[in-house]
A = this chain, B = another copy of it.
Amino acid sequence: MAKYLRYDFGAPGNPQNDHLIFSKGHASPLLYAMYRATGAITDEELLSYRKRGSRLEGHPTPALPWVDVATGSLGQGLPIGVGVALAGKRLDRLPYRVWVLTGDSELAEGSMWEAFEHAAHERLDNLTAVLDINRLGQRGETMHGWDLDYFSRRLSATGWQTIEIDGHDVAQIDAAFAVATSTAGQPVAVIARTIKGKGVASVEDKNGFHGKPIEDANAAIRELGGRPDVSVIVAKPGGDGEPQRFQTGPLELPRYDRGGKEATRKAYGDALAALGVARGDVVALDGEVSNSTYAEVFARQTPDRYFEMFIAEQQMAAAAVGMQVRGWKPFASTFAAFWSRAYDFIRMAAISRADIRLCGSHAGVSIGEDGPSQMALEDLAEFRAVWSSTVLYPCDPNQTAKLVAQMADLEGIVYLRTTREKTPVIYDPDDDFPIGGSRVLLQTPVDTVTIVAAGITVHEAMKAADRLAEDGIRARIIDLYSVKPIDEATLRVAARETNGLVTVEDHWPEGGLGEAVLSVFANDEIRPRVTKLAVRGMPGSATPAEQLAAAGIDAAAIAEAARALAAHASEEVGSVAGNRVGQGSA
């Protein structure tokens, strides 16, 4: 490996460096031993493995500067490697190579085959996969054991060049890597037959020792020929070219006229395209639905930086992670419901400290006739429960555009939820919408109730407020476009100044907007009544308006909940002096 890997351990940020990804993250001892052999880490640090505070975690993470991404959930390293290789070919346009070591158990993960297919389709000859076929998974033999031909046949059929070797024969490894580094037009897989635990008889090729320390380590060391002091020199990359930089221009975000109508998904596409013109580091990916998410606007305008990922959401998320390894700013989009397909990749992206931007369109029951399979009703819960995440849910195209522009520089996992149908333009193109903020759309000194909405329900809340006004009830309306981080200050003012909150979301009741609001007040002195409106029954097909009504999240349902809260509150005021003094806070 040292003969072929080009890596400057003293400058892990060198854009010319190769990338080495252990897709089988549980082989971390091997990775760390390699770092030790290069002198990148000391013996002392090597022995801190899996101890508290050590950079050498049980599975690799970017706590180590030479680790691009966290692995350990199998089937992810290769798809991410495809993303890095795509960046090398089409974005950086640098000759670095991506090396990925995979296990054999993880070849059962469909995501690996998404990666194999995409790598071949994109002719990624800068990608080399080394398949460690040791036949033994965690609990026994894999599906195909040492049948190297099986893997070779499948990979060849997918468009890869394959080389089968004895993984313990250095000459064969050398020859295979020579082919891998000189093959043009297609990726190469080195399929290596290996023996798990080779050289230590007590565990060699035996089941039941996966992830377990060897009983007698000293005996094993003796058996392997004594304590090694291997030192290898990894050559630094030879080139000194800089990564490709794309031409940029001024940022001219789309502007929508108040009083008109436009879908926030369309605004996403328009704004992303504008951002692409203004910033050369912004790239877009889409899962074969760019005419629905409107990523197609970017694709038409900036084809060089657009990546069609077809219906392969796991590979799409992984490619975004791979591209941000090289500093690009990926925006990836699909139907919000289908991000659930890539949830493990998103979870792991957070562990990788990746900065990626994901857009989910067609959120909620308001999509209408297509039915529940196409409705995201769990995405807010899904993305809120991701470490480092930002969750945005605009109701207006101008607001969407301003949020998209900010997303490019946010860290962590950033999620934007958009709506299928056209909704009224209620904000001015020059309005600002800071992350973590909210907009109070209606407010008077005599508000009795607050409605907290986001996205599609903001428009229902506005209609509800009109009806409530007819009954003499003043409703404050908060557009909570930033679901995470949440505008605690504005919510607290509303809790203080009104008699209760109605939260309304086009989402299941769990983990979404309502619970985000409840969490703000959990330990506050003032803990307002909150009526949580959300989708509770399983929807079928119906028009958007029918769906909102059936789910109890339309204007009528909001008005009713607000009225109940207002009535309840005024009763309570009367009884406070009675037997329930201080009850709420005591």
Please report A residues at the B interface, Cβ cutoff 8 Å: 25, 50-54, 56-59, 61, 63, 70-75, 105-106, 108-114, 117, 121, 137-139, 142-143, 150, 153-154, 156-158, 288-292, 296, 310-315, 337-338, 340-341, 343-344, 347-348, 350-351, 369-374, 377-378, 381-382, 384-388, 484, 499-500, 508-512, 514-516, 518-519, 522-527, 529-532, 538, 540-543, 546, 550, 565, 569, 572-573, 576-577, 580-586
Question: CB distance B584 to A72 under 8 Å?
Answer: no
Question: CB < 8 Å: which of B108, B292, B381 contacts A310?
Answer: B108
Instruction: Please give the distance in Å from A119's CB to the nearest CB on chain B.
Output: 12
14 A-B contacts (beta carbon < 8 Å):
A50-B369, A50-B541, A54-B541, A59-B374, A109-B114, A110-B314, A137-B311, A138-B291, A139-B289, A337-B347, A378-B385, A378-B386, A381-B510, A510-B515
Instruction: Please give the distance in Å from A372's CB to the nearest CB on chain B.
Output: 5
Query: Which residues of B sit under 8 angstroms from A25, Cβ to Cβ?
Result: 373
Question: CB distance A373 to B511 under 8 Å?
Answer: no
Instruction: Please give the distance in Å from A569's CB to the nearest CB on chain B.
Output: 7
Instruction: Please give the distance in Å from A10's CB to the nearest CB on chain B.
Output: 24
Instruction: Please give the distance in Å from A186's CB to the nearest CB on chain B.
Output: 14
Q: Which of A370, A540, A550 has the most CB of B within 10 A?
A: A540
Q: What is the chain B residue whose CB lies nearest that of A353?
A: B538
User: What 9 A-B pairs have minimum CB-CB distances, sorted nearest first?
Assistant: A584-B584, A110-B110, A72-B373, A511-B511, A584-B585, A576-B582, A52-B542, A381-B385, A153-B157
Question: CB distance A154 to B158 under 8 Å?
Answer: yes
Question: CB distance A70 to B373 under 8 Å?
Answer: yes
- The answer to whether residues A384 and B519 also contact, given A288-B105, A310-B142, A541-B54 and a CB cut-off of 8 A, is no
The distance in angstroms between the C-alpha atoms of A52 and B72, with both chains bound, is: 45
Known: A57-B372, A59-B370, A70-B372. 8 other contacts (CB 8 A): A72-B373, A109-B110, A139-B291, A340-B347, A381-B510, A381-B511, A385-B512, A527-B529
Question: CB distance B508 to A510 under 8 Å?
Answer: no
Q: Which of A290, A343, A514 has the most CB of B within 10 A?
A: A343
Question: CB distance B143 to A117 under 8 Å?
Answer: yes
Query: Which residues of B sit under 8 angstroms from A542, Cβ to Cβ?
Result: 51-53
Instruction: Please give the distance in Å from A394's CB to the nearest CB on chain B.
Output: 20
The distance in angstroms between the C-alpha atoms of A73 and B565, with both chains bound, is: 39
The distance in angstroms between the C-alpha atoms of A500 and B518, with both chains bound, is: 15
Question: CB distance B72 to A374 under 8 Å?
Answer: yes
Q: What is the chain B residue whose CB lies nearest that of A526?
A: B583
Instruction: Please give the distance in Å from A327's CB to the nearest CB on chain B.
Output: 21
Question: CB < 8 Å: which of B72, B108, B577, B582 contacts A114?
Answer: B108
The distance in angstroms between the C-alpha atoms of A542 and B384, with both chains bound, is: 26
- The answer to whether residues A292 and B138 also contact, given A109-B114, A382-B381, A538-B387 and a CB cut-off of 8 A, is yes
Question: CB distance B108 to A312 under 8 Å?
Answer: yes
Question: CB distance A572 to B584 under 8 Å?
Answer: no
The distance in angstroms between the C-alpha atoms of A384 and B374, with both chains bound, is: 19
Instruction: Please give the distance in Å from A292's CB to the nearest CB on chain B.
Output: 7
Question: CB distance B584 to A58 under 8 Å?
Answer: no
Question: CB < 8 Å: which of B72, B137, B340 contacts A344?
Answer: B340
Instruction: Please give the distance in Å from A136's CB to the nearest CB on chain B.
Output: 11
Query: Which residues of B sit under 8 angstroms from A340, Cβ to Cβ?
Result: 343-344, 347
Query: Which residues of B sit under 8 angstroms from A109, Cβ to Cβ?
Result: 110, 114, 311-313, 341
The distance in angstroms between the C-alpha atoms of A296 and B207, with both chains bound, is: 14
Question: CB distance B143 to A371 under 8 Å?
Answer: no
Query: Which residues of B sit under 8 angstroms from A523, Cβ to Cβ?
Result: 500, 529-532, 565
Query: Which residues of B sit under 8 angstroms from A540, Cβ to Cβ?
Result: 52-54, 57, 61, 63
Question: CB distance A347 to B59 under 8 Å?
Answer: no
Question: CB distance B582 to A572 under 8 Å?
Answer: yes
Question: CB < 8 Å: which of B117, B315, B529 contacts A522?
Answer: B529
Question: CB distance A110 to B111 under 8 Å?
Answer: yes
Question: CB distance A515 to B519 under 8 Å?
Answer: yes
Instruction: Please give the distance in Å from A505's CB to the nearest CB on chain B.
Output: 12
The distance in angstroms between the C-alpha atoms of A511 and B546, with both chains bound, is: 28
The distance in angstroms between the C-alpha atoms of A233 and B348, with both chains bound, is: 52
